[in-house]
Amino acid sequence: RMEGYGYYTLPTGTEYRGSLWDGMFHGKGELMLPAGGGYRALWDRGLATEGKYTFADGLQYDEEKWRYCDGYDRRFYTEICSGFKPPG
């Protein structure tokens, strides 16, 4: 089993870089997605206990500020209803 600091690439192309314990993400680590975004988190036996997601364009997701978002493209509910296009 993997222990210590390492790199692991999942079958989806997502790459993990960080601490491992007994083959699981444990401690500080980051998942980097093939499309360019990433999730930097503190892990406890394979589960993220806290973290921040950064989109490919550098925009960071903050749960409190994004609470009213709907859908997968970062638009607020009222923007979707008004026909606004997603950023990017």
What confidence tens digit (pLDDT) does each residue in 24-74 have? 999 999 999 998 999 999 999 999 998 888 888 888 876 665 555 555 665
Between 88 and 3, whose confidence is greater?
Answer: 3
User: How much is the pLDDT for 57?
Assistant: 85
DSSP letter, residue 71: S
67/6 Cα distance (integer angstroms): 33
CA angle 8, 12, 13 (to 5 degrees): 55
44/64 Cα distance (integer angstroms): 23
61/7 Cα distance (integer angstroms): 24
Global pTM reads 0.67
Q: Is residue 14's pLDDT more than 80?
A: yes
